Amino acid sequence: MMNLKILSEKRYGIIPNILAGAILVVGFAGFIDASYLTAKRMLGSPLTCYFFGGCDAVNASPYSLMFGVPLSLYGSIFYLLVVLSSVAYLQHKKPIFGIALMILTTLGFVFSGYFLFLQAVMIKAYCFYCVISVGTSTTNFILMSVAWRKYFYKPEVSASVSSEIVG
């Protein structure tokens, strides 16, 4: 039993504070961006189209809702979870928070790709704050992927430990 516990803990390394901190900062920026969009949407401000730029058309599109809830609200909750998970990781360094960050940032990246597709192909208009959000979630996915491969996930450690146990 004890050996198994060692095995599972040894499998994960420590993400440097600078990387986890960067994920926290980018996640916080994404939270502000998504919350601003949510507030704009919920306060019902009139839309505008700009001469050198796009329109607020994306926020008025039916694609901006999922189950009757604005996508930006899901975005705010998503970024809030990223912020809380990264603070928890920085504080406790427990692998579960690192895994949560990897799952969250991957989901964020996949959904960002879908939202970019919606804007480019379905709505044929871009919204500035949505593109910013695609940027923040992609940055966080890259940062977390680097952290995962370089520092966090250590299959070779678990393999060596397990061979010790067998031996």
Residues that bind another protein (CB under 8 A): 28, 31-32, 35-36, 39-40, 43-57, 60, 80, 83-84, 87, 91, 124-125
Shortest distance (Å) from residue 82 CB to another protein: 12
- The one-character DSSP state at 45 is P
Dihedral angle sign, alpha carbons of residues 99, 147, 20, 160: positive
Shortest distance (Å) from residue 14 CB to another protein: 18
Token look-up 């803990």 returns 9
- Tell me the sheet residues that pair with 70: 65
Shortest distance (Å) from residue 57 CB to another protein: 4
Task: Return phi, psi of residue 55, to 5°.
Answer: -115, 170
Q: Nearer to another protein by C-beta: 55 or 157?
A: 55
Task: Return phi, psi of residue 11, to 5°.
Answer: -65, -25
Shortest distance (Å) from residue 132 CB to another protein: 13
Q: Nearer to another protein by C-beta: 46 or 155?
A: 46
Q: Nearer to another protein by C-beta: 124 or 150?
A: 124
Q: How remote is the C-alpha of 48 from its chain's centroid?
A: 29
Q: Nearer to another protein by C-beta: 54 or 135?
A: 54
Q: Report d(CA 62, CA 68) in Å as an integer.
A: 9
Shortest distance (Å) from residue 35 CB to another protein: 5
Q: Nearer to another protein by C-beta: 6 or 77?
A: 77
Q: Backbone dihedral region of 127: left (phi > 0), alpha (psi from -120 to 50 degrees) or beta? A: beta
